[in-house]
Each structure stands twice: as C-alpha cells, then as structure tokens.
C-alpha cells in the first residue's frame, strides 16, 4: 500500500474502504471515532490514525468535487467529548469552502454537514 510506505500519501484503496464502511454502518453506530474506524478497517500501527485521516481528507476533496455531503463528517475525535472531528477536518473544510471561516459558526455548520452526510448514505 502506498499509504504504508509514504507518510501522508493518499491510498485510494483505503479511501474507498473507508467510504464503504461509513456508507454501510448502521446509523446507530455513527458518528464513530478515528480509532474505531481504524479498528473496523483492521489497520495496525504504525501511523494508524494518520492513514485514516489521510483517507478521510481524500474523501472530503472527492465529495466536494462531486458536490456531495462530506462523508468524513461521520468520523469524530474521542477527545473533548463533544462528538466533533479533529481540528484538521475543520481546517480542510474551510480551505475547501464547505465550512465558514468564522470559528463561531463552524460547529453548527459541521452539525448540518453531519446530518446531510447521514441522509445521503445509500
């Protein structure tokens, strides 16, 4: 796998596996954490979470290019207890023009994106 040998490199096969998992999980299992997703995919160290986030970033770019809700919104950090994605999700979503740049508006915009992504699943 290219993602296993080059830190930060995109692995299209892993990204598609991530999409399949997120599209087929029962709604009651969502959101799921980065760690839960890595375990579901059977990923093992090193760079387990990094590979998951790189795949999610690739999916964010693809979804925005295709004018779809970002399926990556269904994955959250276990830190903070607020069921929100990590900072990198917000940074990339702002960069891609999907979330507002104003931090005070990002959580509400994220929650709407989460609802849209949940509704768009097969």
Beta bridge partners of 32: 75
**Rounded Cα–Cα distance for residues 58 and 30 (Å):** 20
The whole-angstrom separation of Cα 110 and Cα 46 is: 30
- pLDDT tens for residues 65-101? 999 999 999 999 988 678 999 999 999 999 999 999 9
**Nearest in space to 104 (alpha carbons), one of 96, 95, 94:** 94
Extract the tokens encoding 14.
């892993």
Cis ω for the linkage preceding 100 (within 30 of 0): no
Mean pLDDT of 52-64: 97
pLDDT at 121 over 60: yes
Confidence (pLDDT) at 9? 61
């Amino acid at each position: 796998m290219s993602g296993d040998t080059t830190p930060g490199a995109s692995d299209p096969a892993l990204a598609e596996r991530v999409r399949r998992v997120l599209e087929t999980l029962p709604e009651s299992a969502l959101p799921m954490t980065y760690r839960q997703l890595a375990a579901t995919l059977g990923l093992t160290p090193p760079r387990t979470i990094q590979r998951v986030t790189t795949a999610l970033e690739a999916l964010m770019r693809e979804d925005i290019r295709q004018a779809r809700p970002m399926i990556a919104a269904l994955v959250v950090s276990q830190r903070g207890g607020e069921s929100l994605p990590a900072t990198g999700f917000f940074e990339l979503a702002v960069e891609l023009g999907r979330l507002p740049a104003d931090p005070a508006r990002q959580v509400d915009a994220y929650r709407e994106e989460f609802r849209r992504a949940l509704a768009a699943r097969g």
